[in-house]
């Protein structure tokens, strides 16, 4: 009964939007209700549901999961330590005074701290504390302040080694493995490192366009009277220089393969934690509070991952993935057309699901058949990453927008905020369109022979046959017809 899976996905979206419950609660509730209905109607037999414990154990044994608490911990440490303030003041000292410098400094701060913050939510909190008050002091209107904080908080999504990028890399590895095995191609299965490389140039393009947009927006704003002077101290300059150098070395080491993402997260967390202890900013109640928040946020992420894994297993049992695969393999047109249609569908789901939910629920269902049609997995991964970044800013339910409106206590209507976002959304969509039309942007610096597309394209009938072979029921367990 594959249609039941579609109904369950619809219920997930409606539940997240209208109930106000955490996404993990909605996902597990829908999964349990769907499983109970399937058992009562005889669609699913109980033995096949026993695959869930093994699936969850394999999930939690993944070494990459160690990065989740480390990135959360780093984000909380960055919010407690004076790193952001030092970086912001030092950047301002380099730029000419005025509202444009304030907007550009906020953008640079988001780009520097975003990859280490671990999540968009942590970036929003840090930028709201450091950047928003200063923008207000320089006369920047409230909608522009909120838009700048929202956009800057998403820069860490596309700049490696971000948490979203790591989780997407793990999901793409599984999806590409299924696609290569099913199609019989000889492609090398991509990993998180490949997606790091592919995202660098698009991320750089987006950062440059954001800086240009911030400069253009700031030029039209009048300078505030009696704006505070914010010259950095010598200690702040030294801290900023050390932080930038450390981040660049860490980013370069991860990108070049000297460090794995988990190792980079561990090193970053250790350096920040040690610095906090030495300076006395992480003692007593402060340290307990940071550790408590890290545990709570990590638990929420793991709960979401476990709930999503449970739901996707049931969707596979019901055959919803085969239904979706049939739709994607039957799409007319070339690779560009198929990718654009799938990205559009994922973009629509972003109105009700955030990036983590899309990675955990939508990607395992939609991407494997897409990669059977489209062999360039790195290109698809980068496009997905840019689409996920866009999902954080899509009004009215974009996660970054909702976080900013709550954190800054934004009192205005949504219209002015959306208008303030337009220059940055245009920049985002330009980069997405450029990568869509020029796949080579995801392969800059790639060695010859890294990609293999030596096997001919398969017909829709052959793809369907191989998908059915891959999804053949295991012995002694009866799958629904």
Q: Which domain holds residue 276?
A: 62-445+455-470
For 421-446, write each residue's pLDDT tens digit.
999 999 999 999 999 999 999 998 77
CB contact at 8 A, 372 and 467: yes
Output the six-digit token pair for 310. 């449970």
* Distance from C-alpha of 240 to C-alpha of 86, rounded to nearest angstrom: 6
Q: Quick check: is 99 in a domain?
A: yes
pLDDT of residue 477: 39
Q: Quick check: is 50 in a domain?
A: no
CB contact at 8 A, 38 and 4: yes
Output the six-digit token pair for 457. 């394209």
Q: Quick check: is 329 in a domain?
A: yes
Of 191, 119, 196, 194, give the one whose Cα is nearest residue 354. Answer: 119
The CA–CA distances, whole Å, from 294 to 153, 287, 363, 391, 395 equal 19, 11, 27, 25, 29
pLDDT of residue 480: 39
Of 48, 56, 12, give the one whose Cα is nearest residue 30. Answer: 12
* Distance from C-alpha of 390 to C-alpha of 355, rounded to nearest angstrom: 9
If one counts every other C-beta atom within 10 angstroms of the C-beta of residue 279, the result is 11
For 2-38, write each residue's pLDDT tens digit.
888 899 999 998 898 788 788 899 999 999 999 999 9
pLDDT of residue 471: 44
pLDDT of residue 251: 75
Could you tell me the maximum CA-CA distance found in the chain, to the nearest angstrom? 78
**Nearest-10 Cα torsion for 226, 228, 229, 232:** -170
**Nearest-10 Cα torsion for 229, 233, 239, 241:** 70
Tokens 């096997």 map to which residue?
A: 455
* Distance from C-alpha of 430 to C-alpha of 428, rounded to nearest angstrom: 5
Q: Quick check: is 460 in a domain?
A: yes
CB contact at 8 A, 5 and 319: yes
Containing H/E element for 100? helix 99-117
Q: Quick check: is 233 in a domain?
A: yes
Helices (H), 319-413: 320-329, 335-349, 355-357, 363-373, 377-391, 399-407
pLDDT of residue 165: 84
Tokens 């005025």 map to which residue?
A: 98
Q: Quick check: is 30 in a domain?
A: no
Per the structure, the count of domains in the chain is 1
Q: Quick check: is 53 in a domain?
A: no
Q: Quick check: is 397 in a domain?
A: yes
Average pLDDT, 10 consecutive residues per value, the chain (481 residues): 88 86 91 91 85 83 81 82 88 85 91 77 83 87 92 87 82 89 83 87 94 92 75 89 85 76 84 88 87 89 89 89 87 88 86 80 90 90 90 81 86 87 94 93 74 46 49 40 39
Look up the pTM and report it: 0.82
């Amino acid at each position: 009964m594959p249609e039941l899976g579609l109904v369950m996905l619809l219920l997930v979206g409606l539940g997240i939007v209208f109930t106000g419950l955490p996404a993990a609660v909605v996902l597990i509730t829908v999964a349990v209700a769907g499983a109970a209905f399937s058992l009562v109607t005889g669609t699913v037999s109980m033995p096949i549901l026993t695959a869930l414990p093994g699936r969850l154990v394999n999930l939690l044994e993944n070494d990459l999961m160690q990065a989740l608490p480390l990135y959360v911990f780093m984000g909380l440490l960055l919010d407690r330590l004076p790193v952001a303030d030092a970086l912001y003041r030092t950047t301002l000292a380099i730029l000419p005074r005025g509202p444009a410098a304030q907007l550009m400094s906020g953008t640079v701060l988001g780009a520097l701290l975003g990859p280490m913050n671990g999540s968009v939510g942590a970036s929003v909190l840090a930028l709201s504390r450091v950047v928003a008050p200063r923008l207000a002091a320089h006369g920047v209107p409230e909608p522009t302040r909120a838009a700048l904080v929202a956009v800057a908080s998403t820069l860490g999504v596309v700049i490696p080694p971000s948490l979203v990028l790591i989780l997407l890399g793990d999901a793409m590895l599984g999806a590409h493995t299924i696609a290569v095995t099913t199609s019989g191609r000889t492609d090398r299965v991509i990993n998180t490192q490949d997606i790091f490389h592919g995202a660098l140039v698009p991320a750089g393009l987006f950062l440059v366009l954001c800086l240009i947009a911030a400069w253009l927006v700031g030029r039209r704003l009048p300078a505030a009277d009696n704006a505070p002077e914010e010259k950095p101290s010598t200690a702040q300059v030294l801290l900023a220089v050390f932080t930038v150098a450390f981040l660049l070395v860490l980013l370069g080491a991860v990108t070049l393969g000297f460090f794995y993402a988990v190792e980079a997260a561990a090193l970053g967390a250790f350096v920040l934690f040690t610095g906090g202890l030495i300076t006395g900013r992480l003692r007593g109640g402060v340290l307990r509070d940071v550790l408590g928040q890290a545990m709570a946020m990590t638990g929420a992420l793991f709960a979401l991952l476990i709930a999503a894994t449970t739901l996707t297993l049931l969707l596979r049992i019901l055959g919803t993935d085969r239904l979706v695969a049939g739709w994607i393999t039957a799409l007319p047109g070339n690779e560009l057309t198929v990718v654009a249609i799938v990205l559009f569908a994922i973009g629509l789901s972003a109105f009700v699901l955030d990036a983590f939910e899309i990675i955990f629920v939508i990607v395992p269902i939609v991407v494997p058949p897409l990669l059977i049609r489209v062999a360039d997995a790195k290109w698809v991964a980068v496009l997905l990453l840019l689409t996920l970044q866009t999902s954080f800013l899509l009004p009215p339910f974009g996660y970054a927008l909702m976080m900013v409106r709550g954190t800054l206590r934004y009192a205005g209507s949504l219209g002015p905020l959306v208008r303030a976002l337009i220059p940055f959304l245009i920049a985002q969509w330009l980069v997405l369109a450029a990568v869509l039309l020029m796949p080579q942007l995801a392969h800059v610096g790639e060695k010859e022979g890294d990609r293999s597309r030596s096997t001919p394209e398969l017909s829709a009938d052959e793809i369907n046959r191989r998908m059915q072979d891959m999804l053949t029921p295991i012995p002694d367990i009866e799958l629904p017809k």
